[in-house]
Amino acid sequence: MRPDILVYTDCMRILKVRRVGNSNVVSIPREYEAKGFTPGSSVLLDELPDGELRLLPADKVREQIRKVGRRVVDEHREALRILAEHDPDDKAQRR
């Protein structure tokens, strides 16, 4: 019997937390390497308000931030241009 729990259409896996030195460690199964969890890669550990932990590959987070940034720039180009031209030290502009 596999220690998996079927939830909706995704599969949750029960893993053990182990102590290695002064750290707690959870091993990520090898099948997740294709999703960016490769040996030596960086991950983002996010604690949600309810205490749940979410683990994301850092490369995918960077990619998402870039995608959102491009969308914001595209949608608000005029506002960003006005902000870029604004000089808070220019007293003549404030009049």
**What's the confidence (pLDDT) of residue 13?**
83
**What's the confidence (pLDDT) of residue 4?**
61
**What's the confidence (pLDDT) of residue 92?**
60
Per the prediction, the chain carries an average pLDDT of 83
How far is the CA of 24 from the CAs of 17, 27, 30, 31, in angstroms? Answer: 6, 10, 19, 21
pLDDT-derived band of residue 5, with 50, 70 and 90 as boundaries? low
pLDDT, average across residues 62-79: 87
- The fold for domain 4-87 equals Pemi-like Protein 1; Chain: D (2.10.260)
pLDDT-derived band of residue 72, with 50, 70 and 90 as boundaries? confident
